[in-house]
C-alpha cells in the first residue's frame, strides 16, 4: 500500500509539473477530488507526510530541514558532544542553511485545507471514527510543523485557516504571534489531534492518538523549560517585535506560571501514553545480570519494526526510499564512499556507569588524580577498559578492538617504544590544557626527534609506520585508523554503532543503499518526559496534575526502568524536588537518547550551552574549564596506543587531535534569526529583537 501511494503521488506530481500552476488541467485530481474518498485521501496524506519536518537520517542540522539529503550521513555532531565529524557539518547548532519557514507554511496550508475541506465529504467515509481520524491527522501535522518553528524562532505567524489567493497583503500575511501564544496554539492542536485520532494508526507511518500525546509531551517540555530558564540567562532573550508589537521571543511576568502549566501538560500527556498506550521498553533478548544479552538487546531494538517501544517510526525500503548512514559512518573496513563520519567523543563516554573516574569526573586513564598527572594505566587489550561499562554504551559506540560485522575493529593512534615495563610517561607531559588543544602527536620529540619512540600513520594507503613485534610487522594504526592526515575514519578513536546495520557487507554499502528505520518517538522518550516534568513541577512546588499520583515515585520508577534495561546502576535513593534529581534525569536523557536528534534541543531548552552555564552542559555538574573557554569549547578523544616494551595498551585523553575542532555558542543563538528575505519583503514579519 505504501509503495502504491508513493507511485500514484509521483504520477500526480509529474502531471502537475506539466501544466499551468494556476489552472489545474482536467486530467489531474484536485485536492477536493482527493478528499472525496478514503482512497484519494490516502494520496493526500502521503503527500502531506512526505513533507513533514522529521529529523532522521536525511536531516543534517547544518543544512536544515528542506534539503533532506543523507549526504555525509552522520548523527550527533551539532556541538552536543555526542560525536564529531571530519567536515564542516560539525558545528554548534546556531542556525540552518535552509530555514524551516516557507516549507512549513506550505505544509500548514495543506493541513488547513484538510480541516476546512473534508467536512463537505464526511458522508463518503466508512465511519465517523475514520473521518475524525483524518481531521486529527491535519491537526497533528499543523501542531508538529509549528512546534518545529517555535523551538527555532519563538513566536511565529499563526495561520489557522486557508488563505485564498490572490488577495490583498493584509489578508495574505500575519504578524508574528507572541511566543506564549505560539506554544498555546501548538498545545491546542496536539490536544485536538489526540481527541480526534484513533488509538491505532489508520495508515502505516501516520500518527495516532498516542503519537500526538507523546509529541505533545516533548513539545510542552520544551515550552516549560524555555519559560523557566530564559530568565536565568543574561542578555536579551525576550523582546517586542518592532512590526508586530508582540513579545515574539521570551515571556513576561507570567513566565513561571506558564512554565508550571506547560510542565503539567507534558506530565499528563506522558502519563496517558504510559498507562493507556500499551507500549513497553524493548527487552526481547534482555536477561538480568547478563551484560552480553543486555548489549545485544539494545543493538537489536533499532531495526525491529515490531518493537513494543516504537511509537512513531520513519520507515525506509531499498531501493524506493533509502538513506546513506552506513556509507558514511561505518568503520574504514567498509569505506564506501566515505567512512567514520560519526565519531563519539570521550566526553560522551564519561556519562556512563561502570567505568572508573578521577575526582574531576574524567575517565581514569592514568595513575594520577587527573589525566594530566601520573603515568598511563596499562591494559592487555583496549576492550579491558570497558569490561564493566554499562551495556548500553557498547550498543551505542564501537570500542577499539571490539567486533562489528564479524570483524575486529582494529584502531590504534600509534605505537610507543619508550618507557619501561612499569613506567610509560604521558606523551604530552602535563600539558593537556584547553590552550594546548591543537598540540599534535606528530610534533612531539618522541616522534620527530633523533631517538624516535613514537610511530604513527598519516594515510591508510601510504605513510603507515610499522614496528616489529614478536617477529611480525605491526601497523601503527591498525585497519581502521587513527590516521594523522586522513579524516575518513575515526578521528576520536571511537566509532558509532547505534543505528548502523549489523549485517551489511562492503558490496551492500553505498550511497542511498541503507534502509534501516529511524525511530522518531519511542517509549523511553515518554518515560523520560514524565520523569523530567515530575521533577520540574516538584521543584516549583506544584502538586501532581494526575490526582492521587506521587510524581516523584513515577519519575524514579521511570528512570530505573530505563537503567535496568540499559544495564546501568539503579537509583538507590528516590528522586526528590531538588536540582540534583533534575540533573540525574537530564543525564539519563543525554545517555539514552544520544544520536536521535534530541540532545541539541535539550541543550537549548535547558539554556546550558552559553558561557557561564556549561557546568550543566552534560546534564550533571562538571568543571566547564575542562572543555570550555568563554563562549568556545572543544571535545576530547580517546586515543589507544600500543606499548611494545610492555606488550600492553594505554589510552591518551586529548582534545580531538586529528582535524581539531572548536565550537562557539552565545546567548543570542538560543533563537535563530528569522530568514532575512522574509523580513525585508514583508511589512509584517519582525526580525528577532536581539538581532
Q: Which CATH number fits domain 33-53+100-278: 1.25.40.390, 3.30.470.20, 3.10.20.600, 3.30.360.10?
A: 1.25.40.390
Backbone CA torsion sign across 165, 7, 54, 669: negative
Q: How confident is the model at residue 16 (pLDDT cuts 50, 70, 90)?
A: very low
Cell numbers linked to 107 = 505544509
Ranges assigned E (strand) in 10-86: 83-84
How far, in Å, CA of 45 to CA of 41, rounded? 6
Please answer whether residues 632 and 664 qualify as being in contact, where contact means their C-beta atoms are separated by less than 8 angstroms. yes
Ranges assigned E (strand) in 427-558: 454-455, 466-469, 472-475, 495-496, 518-522
Q: What is the pLDDT of residue 516?
A: 97
- Cis status of the peptide bond prior to 166, with omega within 30 of 0: yes
Closest CA to 96 of 66, 57, 58: 66
Bridge partners of residue 249, in order along the sequence: 239
Where do the structural domains in the chain lie, given as residue ranges? 33-53+100-278, 519-629
pTM: 0.94
How big is the chain, counted in residues?
Answer: 691
Which tens digits make up the pLDDT trace of 466-515? 999 999 999 999 999 899 998 889 999 999 999 999 999 999 999 999 99
Say which range, 163-167, 263-267, 521-525, has the weakest mean pLDDT: 163-167
Q: What is the DSSP string of 315-342?
A: --BTTTB-B-HHHHHS-GGG-SS-----
Please answer whether residues 582 and 539 qualify as being in contact, where contact means their C-beta atoms are separated by less than 8 angstroms. yes
Residue 639 φ/ψ, nearest 5 degrees? -100, 115
Closest CA to 345 of 393, 415, 407: 393
Helix axes 179-196, 255-276, angle to 10 degrees: 20
Task: Please give the average per-residue pLDDT across 149-169, as a whole number.
Answer: 89
Closest CA to 105 of 156, 180, 37: 156
Q: What is the DSSP letter of 498?
A: T
Please answer whether residues 68 and 98 qualify as being in contact, where contact means their C-beta atoms are separated by less than 8 angstroms. no
Q: What is the pLDDT of residue 326?
A: 97
* pLDDT of 7 higher than 60: no
Residue 591 φ/ψ, nearest 5 degrees? -75, -55
Please answer whether residues 509 and 327 qualify as being in contact, where contact means their C-beta atoms are separated by less than 8 angstroms. yes
Please answer whether residues 355 and 386 qualify as being in contact, where contact means their C-beta atoms are separated by less than 8 angstroms. yes
Please answer whether residues 244 and 688 qualify as being in contact, where contact means their C-beta atoms are separated by less than 8 angstroms. no
Q: How confident is the model at residue 12 (pLDDT cuts 50, 70, 90)?
A: very low
* pLDDT of 518 higher than 90: yes
Q: How confident is the model at residue 20 (pLDDT cuts 50, 70, 90)?
A: very low
* pLDDT of 15 higher than 70: no
Helix axes 128-153, 209-229, angle to 10 degrees: 20
How far, in Å, CA of 495 to CA of 508, rounded? 19
Q: How confident is the model at residue 170 (pLDDT cuts 50, 70, 90)?
A: low
* pLDDT of 254 higher than 90: yes
Which tens digits make up the pLDDT trace of 597-614? 999 999 999 999 999 889
How far, in Å, CA of 106 to CA of 564, rounded? 44
Q: What is the pLDDT of residue 168?
A: 67
* pLDDT of 357 higher than 70: yes
How far, in Å, CA of 480 to CA of 482, rounded? 7
Say which range, 21-30, 340-349, 380-389, 404-413, has the weakest mean pLDDT: 21-30
Q: What is the pLDDT of residue 3?
A: 43
Which tens digits make up the pLDDT trace of 181-192? 999 999 999 999
Task: Please give the average per-residue pLDDT across 41-49, as a whole number.
Answer: 95
Task: Please give the average per-residue pLDDT across 327-353, as a whole number.
Answer: 96
How far, in Å, CA of 619 to CA of 336, rounded? 36
Q: Is 425 exposed, middle or buried (0-12, 13-18, 19+ CB in 10 A)?
A: middle
Bridge partners of residue 157, in order along the sequence: 176
How far, in Å, CA of 335 to CA of 341, rounded? 10
Q: What is the pLDDT of residue 600?
A: 98
Cell numbers linked to 592 = 539514552
Which tens digits make up the pLDDT trace of 286-311? 999 999 999 999 999 999 999 999 99
Q: Which helix (H) or strand (E) holds 407?
A: strand 407-408
Cα–Cα distances (Å) from 606 to 362, 567, 637, in that order, read 23, 27, 26
Which tens digits make up the pLDDT trace of 555-605? 999 999 999 999 999 999 999 999 999 999 999 999 999 999 999 999 999
Q: Which helix (H) or strand (E) holds 206?
A: none
More confident site: 37 or 5: 37
Bridge partners of residue 408, in order along the sequence: 403
More confident site: 68 or 117: 117
Residue 688 φ/ψ, nearest 5 degrees? -55, 140
Q: What is the pLDDT of residue 449?
A: 86
Q: 567 in helix, strand or coil?
A: coil
Closest CA to 324 of 499, 510, 501, 502: 510
Q: How confident is the model at residue 235 (pLDDT cuts 50, 70, 90)?
A: confident
How far, in Å, CA of 359 to CA of 382, rounded? 22
Task: Please give the average per-residue pLDDT across 255-267, as a whole number.
Answer: 98
Which tens digits make up the pLDDT trace of 405-443? 999 999 999 999 999 888 899 999 988 999 888 889 999
Integer Rg of the chain from CA? 26
Please answer whether residues 397 and 496 qualify as being in contact, where contact means their C-beta atoms are separated by less than 8 angstroms. yes
How far, in Å, CA of 69 to CA of 87, rounded? 16
Side-chain-side CA neighbours of 303 within 13 Å: the count stands at 17
Number of neighbouring beta carbons within 10 Å of residue 335: 18
Cell numbers linked to 120 = 463537505
Task: Please give the average per-residue pLDDT across 132-146, as a whole number.
Answer: 98
Helix axes 523-539, 255-276, angle to 10 degrees: 140
* pLDDT of 27 higher than 60: no
Please answer whether residues 455 and 464 qualify as being in contact, where contact means their C-beta atoms are separated by less than 8 angstroms. no
Cell numbers linked to 448 = 620527530
Cα–Cα distances (Å) from 521 to 183, 279, 309, 528, 649, in that order, read 20, 12, 9, 12, 40
Q: What is the pLDDT of residue 452?
A: 95
Q: What is the pLDDT of residue 643?
A: 97
Number of neighbouring beta carbons within 10 Å of residue 172: 14
* pLDDT of 339 higher than 90: yes
Q: What is the pLDDT of residue 67?
A: 87
Amino acid at each position: 500500500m505504501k509503495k502504491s501511494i508513493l507511485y500514484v503521488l509521483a504520477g500526480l506530481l509529474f502531471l502537475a509539473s506539466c501544466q499551468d500552476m494556476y489552472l489545474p488541467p482536467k486530467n489531474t485530481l484536485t485536492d477536493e477530488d482527493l478528499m472525496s474518498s478514503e482512497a484519494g485521501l490516502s494520496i493526500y496524506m502521503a503527500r502531506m507526510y512526505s513533507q513533514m519536518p522529521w529529523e532522521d537520517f536525511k536531516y543534517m542540522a547544518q543544512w536544515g530541514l528542506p534539503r533532506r539529503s543523507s549526504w555525509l550521513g552522520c548523527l550527533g555532531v551539532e556541538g552536543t558532544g555526542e560525536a564529531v565529524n571530519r567536515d564542516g557539518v560539525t558545528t554548534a547548532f546556531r542556525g540552518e542553511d535552509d530555514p524551516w519557514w516557507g516549507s512549513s507554511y506550505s505544509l500548514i496550508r495543506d493541513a488547513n485545507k484538510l480541516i476546512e475541506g473534508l467536512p463537505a465529504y464526511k458522508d463518503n467515509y466508512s465511519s465517523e471514527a475514520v473521518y475524525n481520524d483524518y481531521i486529527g491527522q491535519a491537526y497533528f501535522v499543523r501542531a508538529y510543523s509549528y512546534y518545529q518553528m517555535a523551538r527555532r524562532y519563538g513566536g511565529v505567524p499563526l495561520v489557522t485557516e486557508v488563505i485564498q489567493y490572490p488577495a490583498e497583503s493584509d489578508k495574505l500575511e500575519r504578524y508574528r504571534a507572541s511566543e506564549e501564544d505560539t506554544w498555546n496554539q501548538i498545545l491546542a492542536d496536539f490536544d485536538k489531534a489526540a481527541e480526534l485520532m484513533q488509538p491505532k494508526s489508520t495508515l502505516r507511518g501516520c500518527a495516532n492518538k498516542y503519537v500526538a500525546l507523546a509529541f505533545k509531551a516533548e513539545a510542552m517540555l520544551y515550552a516549560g523549560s524555555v519559560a523557566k530558564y530564559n530568565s536565568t540567562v543574561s542578555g536579551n532573550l525576550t523582546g517586542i517585535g518592532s512590526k508586530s508589537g508582540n513579545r515574539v521571543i521570551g515571556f513576561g511576568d507570567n513566565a513561571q506560571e506558564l512554565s508550571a502549566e506547560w510542565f503539567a501538560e507534558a506530565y499528563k500527556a506522558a502519563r496517558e501514553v504510559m498507562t493507556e498506550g500499551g507500549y513497553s521498553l524493548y527487552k526481547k533478548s534482555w536477561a538480568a545480570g547478563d551484560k552480553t544479552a543486555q548489549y545485544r538487546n539494545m543493538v537489536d531494538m533499532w531495526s525491529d519494526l515490531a518493537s513494543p517501544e516504537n511509537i512513531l517510526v520513519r520507515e525506509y525500503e531499498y531501493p524506493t526510499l533509502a538513506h546513506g548512514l552506513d556509507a558514511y559512518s561505518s568503520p574504514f573496513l567498509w569505506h564506501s564512499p566515505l567512512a567514520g563520519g560519526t565519531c563519539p567523543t570521550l566526553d560522551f563516554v564519561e556519562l556512563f556507569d561502570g567505568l572508573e573516574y578521577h575526582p574531576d569526573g574524567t575517565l581514569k586513564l592514568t595513575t594520577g588524580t587527573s589525566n594530566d598527572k601520573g603515568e598511563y594505566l596499562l591494559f592487555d587489550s583496549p576492550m579491558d577498559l570497558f569490561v564493566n561499562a554499562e551495556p548500553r554504551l557498547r550498543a551505542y559506540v564501537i570500542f577499539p578492538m571490539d567486533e562489528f560485522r564479524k570483524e575486529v575493529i582494529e584502531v590504534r593512534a600509534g605505537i610507543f617504544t619508550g618507557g619501561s615495563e612499569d613506567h610509560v610517561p604521558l606523551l604530552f607531559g602535563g600539558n593537556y590544557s584547553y590552550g594546548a588543544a591543537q598540540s599534535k602527536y606528530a610534533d612531539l620529540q618522541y616522534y620527530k626527534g633523533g631517538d624516535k619512540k613514537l610511530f604513527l600513520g598519516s594515510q591508510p594507503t601510504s605513510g603507515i609506520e610499522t614496528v616489529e613485534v614478536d617477529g611480525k610487522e605491526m601497523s601503527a594504526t591498525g585497519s581502521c585508523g587513527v590516521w594523522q592526515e586522513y579524516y575518513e575514519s575515526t578521528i576520536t578513536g571511537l566509532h558509532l554503532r547505534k543505528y548502523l546495520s549489523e549485517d551489511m557487507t562492503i558490496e551492500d554499502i553505498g550511497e542511498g543503499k541503507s534502509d534501516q528505520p529511524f525511530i522518531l518517538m519511542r517509549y523511553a522518550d515518554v518515560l523520560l518526559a514524565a520523569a523530567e516534568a515530575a521533577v520540574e513541577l516538584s521543584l516549583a512546588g506544584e502538586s501532581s496534575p494526575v490526582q492521587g499520583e506521587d510524581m516523584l515515585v513515577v519519575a524514579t520508577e521511570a528512570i530505573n526502568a530505563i537503567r535496568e534495561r540499559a544495564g546501568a546502576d539503579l537509583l538507590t535513593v528516590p528522586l526528590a524536588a531538588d536540582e540534583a534529581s533534575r540533573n540525574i534525569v537530564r543525564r539519563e536523557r543525554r545517555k539514552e537518547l544520544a544520536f536521535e536528534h534530541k540532545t541539541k534541543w535539550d541543550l537549548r531548552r535547558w539554556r546550558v550551552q552559553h558561557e557561564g552555564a556549561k557546568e550543566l552542559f552534560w546534564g550533571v555538574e562538571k568543571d566547564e574549564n575542562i572543555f570550555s573557554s568563554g563562549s568556545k569549547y572543544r571535545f576530547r578523544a580517546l586515543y589507544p596506543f600500543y606499548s611494545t616494551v610492555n606488550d600492553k595498551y594505554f589510552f591518551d585523553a586529548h582534545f580531538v587531535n586529528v582535524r581539531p575542532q572548536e565550537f562557539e555558542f552565545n546567548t543570542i543563538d538560543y533563537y535563530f534569526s528569522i530568514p532575512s528575505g522574509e523580513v525585508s519583503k514583508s511589512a509584517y514579519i519582525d526580525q528577532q529583537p536581539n538581532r
